[in-house]
Structure formats: structure tokens, C-alpha cells
């Protein structure tokens, strides 16, 4: 995955691609490339969300553990 890609930038790019496809402003010659890029961005966002969820749950567990002492 791209090292400088952020969740926000990926999401914005996905919105742009979706809008282009919905308004049929994408040339048939580049449609497949846009769909491939969208699939890549979706995967990136899913991984980022899962990673963040795992990290937040870990922090919460640590906080709960230190509160019970």
C-alpha cells in the first residue's frame, strides 16, 4: 500500500471516483482503472479501520486493567 496515503485522503478519492461513475463522467476507456483504484482504496480503508479498532480496544483493555488495581 502507499506509504503517504491516509484514511481521509483515500476516502475523499473514493468519493470522487464514486461521483464520477454515478454521473457517468468516466470514459469507458478508464472505467476499469477507476474501479481497480476504488477496490484498492476500499481495501486500504478496511485495513486501516480494523487496525484502529484493534488498537483502541487494546488501549481500553489496558485502561480497564489499570483501573481495577
- Residue-wise pLDDT for 16-52, tens only, equals 999 999 998 889 999 999 999 999 999 999 999 999 9
DSSP code per residue over 2-46? -TT--HHHHHHHHHHHHHHHHTT-S-HHHHHHHHHHHHHHHHHHH
**What pLDDT does residue 5 have?**
94
Whether pLDDT at 56 is above 80:
yes
Amino acid at each position: 500500500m502507499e506509504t503517504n496515503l491516509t484514511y481521509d485522503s483515500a476516502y475523499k478519492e473514493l468519493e470522487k471516483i464514486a461521483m464520477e461513475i454515478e454521473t457517468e463522467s468516466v470514459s469507458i476507456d478508464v472505467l476499469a482503472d477507476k474501479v481497480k483504484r476504488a477496490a484498492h482504496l476500499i481495501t486500504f480503508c478496511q485495513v486501516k479501520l480494523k487496525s484502529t479498532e484493534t488498537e483502541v480496544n487494546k488501549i481500553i483493555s489496558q485502561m480497564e486493567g489499570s483501573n481495577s488495581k
